[in-house]
Amino acid sequence: MAELGLTPARSPAIGGGIDADSLVRGILLAAVFLTLWLSFRPFPSLAEPPEISEAGNLINQLGYSLLFVVLAVWCMTHQPVRLAMLARPIFLVTLLWLVLSVITSWEPMLSARRLAFTFAAIGIAAMVLLLPKNIRQFSDVLSAVVLAVLILCYLGVFLIPLRAVHQASDFGDASDLVGNWRGVFGHKNGAGGAMVAFVFIGLFVARTRNFFIGAAIVVLAATFLPFTHSKTSIITLPLALIVSFVMVRVRRPVLGVAFALSVVVVLNVFSVGSVLFEPIHNLLDAIMSDPSFTGRDEVWHFALARMMERPLIGHGYAAFWGTPQVVYGMSGGNTDWANTVYHAHNGYLELMLTTGIPGAALVTLWLVILPLIDFYRSPHAPHIAPLELLFLRVCLFTAYASCFEAALMQEGEGSFLVFVAAFGLRFLSVSRISA
């Protein structure tokens, strides 16, 4: 069996010199997650409209390309055969379908550029799991990076609120977001999703390395989260924790997976389903103060209609919102807001809209269903269990948040983390089978 990077430490002792190999691994690991959460432009100003260029964001392209190349070079000298364990058929078929959605896209160059970025993120997510020598190093680096980001977020809120708190002068939907904390991130929803991930990481650190450091991360992140007013993150955090708690204790994999997936179905029925089925809409109208989910119902109506125009292949990978066909060809009347929407506010619907129903099914199978199955196939040994639980919680949160946001395959930290989690559970389950 090829040895994985995320193995238990051979010696629990602390102290002694740090060898060069461990130092390089730690630096690369920290660079990946610092890039993920800080990006190449932390505390971005929102006072001006975002720059729109056919060539995309050059800084991001160069930064992520360099990170990908560095990791690839490192990986080529450190048992690259280990990556072959990720080449499951569904993963390869999914990638091929995404390529097909680029070829048939109504904006092929835009789709190609965004898919190339996604492929780079997928590659980095796979290779980053080979970096740590053991779980202890993984935990140490993650805790240091997360604490640094949290401290910067709090410093930003109190010292430079113009860059860390949504203002009335922000471009776009500023009036609805004034006062919401965003920290180093560009939007309160990005900050909310990151805080959820930090809570999961804090719980992981508390079990694997140091209880007090892990508890500090949980408290700092859980305190910051409500001030973001990111409703999706606030609601789905406890949901992911509850479902993961149940799954750990359910002995029959079929029941555990079915329970987790039933929550996805229910959330989608009561979100997108509310614009399809009048009884569901009437029920929500009776029990909720805002059955429109802050205006998402209009977006879902619009996206469903456009999805049915090209249900098999979609409009092209990540090439619908903001395109001239939508902004100029589909606006007017009740759809004037179409030129300000960045996604369908539902990851599954977004994938149907851009890659077709088969594409959405493939991505859901790869990033939602199979990781849950892999969780039950992994060892569940005491030293591995906290890592399995961390990956499981990330997958569950992404699956549930995708019922209200476009978390699946969306550029940003949310998709990258679910790539890491899905690959991590795959690694752990294959290592058990190989053993």
pLDDT tops 90 at residue 372: yes
pLDDT tops 90 at residue 204: yes
pLDDT of residue 197: 97
Taking only the tens place, the pLDDT of each residue in 211-230 is 999 999 999 999 999 999 99
Query: Which two tokens mark 314?
Result: 């979609």
Burial class of residue 18 (count of CB atoms within 10 Å of its CB; 0-12, 13-18, 19+): exposed
pLDDT of residue 16: 45
pLDDT tops 90 at residue 194: yes
Give the pLDDT mean for 44-56: 64
pLDDT tops 50 at residue 64: yes
- Residue 181 CA to residue 185 CA, distance in Å, equals 9
pLDDT tops 80 at residue 333: no
Tracing tokens 């990005």 back to the chain, one arrives at: 190
CA distances (Å), origin 320, targets 293, 314, 329, 355, 358 = 22, 9, 12, 10, 17
If pLDDT is split at 50, 70 and 90, which confidence band does 50 have?
low
Instruction: Give the least confident one: 75-84, 253-262, 332-341.
Output: 332-341
- Residue 32 CA to residue 34 CA, distance in Å, equals 6
Decide if 114 is inside a domain.
Answer: no
* Cα 355 off chain centre by: 18
- Report the run of H or E that residue 3 belongs to, with start and end: none
Decide if 119 is inside a domain.
Answer: no
- Residue 103 CA to residue 77 CA, distance in Å, equals 34
Mean pLDDT score of the chain, rounded to an integer? Answer: 87
- Residue 31 CA to residue 19 CA, distance in Å, equals 18
More confident residue, 433 or 38: 38
Report which residue type is found at 55.
A
Cβ(94)–Cβ(363) under 8 Å? yes
pLDDT tops 50 at residue 13: no
pLDDT tops 90 at residue 34: yes
Query: Which two tokens mark 295?
Result: 């205006």
pLDDT tops 70 at residue 8: no
pLDDT tops 60 at residue 52: no
pLDDT tops 70 at residue 435: no
If pLDDT is split at 50, 70 and 90, which confidence band does 55 have?
low
pLDDT of residue 182: 95
- Report the run of H or E that residue 408 belongs to, with start and end: none
Count: domains in the chain: 1
- Residue 332 CA to residue 182 CA, distance in Å, equals 32
Q: Which residues pair with 181 in a beta bridge?
A: 165
- Residue 2 CA to residue 88 CA, distance in Å, equals 16
Please tell me whether residue 158 adopts helix, strand or coil conformation. helix
- Residue 226 CA to residue 364 CA, distance in Å, equals 29
More confident residue, 60 or 357: 357
Range of the domain at 395: 94-107+231-435
Instruction: Give the least confident one: 28-37, 167-176, 295-304.
Output: 167-176
More confident residue, 426 or 6: 426
Decide if 249 is inside a domain.
Answer: yes
The number of beta carbons lying within 10 Å of the beta carbon of residue 39 is 19
pLDDT of residue 105: 94
Decide if 25 is inside a domain.
Answer: no
- Residue 319 CA to residue 114 CA, distance in Å, equals 8
pLDDT tops 60 at residue 352: yes
If pLDDT is split at 50, 70 and 90, which confidence band does 39 have?
confident
Give the pLDDT mean for 360-375: 96
Q: By percentage, how much of the chain surpasses pLDDT 90?
A: 62
- Residue 433 CA to residue 379 CA, distance in Å, equals 9
If pLDDT is split at 50, 70 and 90, which confidence band does 57 have?
low
If pLDDT is split at 50, 70 and 90, which confidence band does 14 have?
very low
pLDDT tops 80 at residue 131: yes
Give the pLDDT mean for 362-389: 94
Q: Which residues pair with 165 in a beta bridge?
A: 181
Decide if 346 is inside a domain.
Answer: yes
Decide if 20 is inside a domain.
Answer: no
If pLDDT is split at 50, 70 and 90, which confidence band does 171 have?
confident
In a 13 Å sphere around the CA of 49, the CA atoms on its Cβ side amount to 5
pLDDT tops 90 at residue 79: no
Q: Which residues contact 264 (CB under 8 A, 6 or more apart)?
A: 368, 399, 400, 403
Give the pLDDT mean for 339-352: 85
Decide if 226 is inside a domain.
Answer: no
Closest CA to 107 of 415, 354, 412: 354
- Residue 123 CA to residue 80 CA, distance in Å, equals 12
- Residue 396 CA to residue 117 CA, distance in Å, equals 24
Would you list the DSSP string of 353-400? Answer: HHHHHHHHHHHHIIIIIHHHHHHHHS---TTTHHHHHHHHHHHHHHHH
Please tell me whether residue 165 adopts helix, strand or coil conformation. strand
Decide if 190 is inside a domain.
Answer: no
Cβ(428)–Cβ(388) under 8 Å? yes
Taking only the tens place, the pLDDT of each residue in 263-322 is 999 999 999 998 888 888 888 888 887 777 777 888 888 899 899 999 999 999 999 888
Query: Which two tokens mark 397?
Result: 């949160």
pLDDT tops 90 at residue 251: no
Q: Which residues contact 82 (CB under 8 A, 6 or more apart)?
A: 2, 3, 4, 130
CA distances (Å), origin 128, targets 31, 82, 168 = 10, 12, 39
CA distances (Å), origin 129, targets 3, 75, 378, 426, 429 = 12, 10, 16, 11, 14
pLDDT of residue 5: 57
Tracing tokens 């060069």 back to the chain, one arrives at: 20
pLDDT of residue 2: 39
Give the pLDDT mean for 87-107: 94
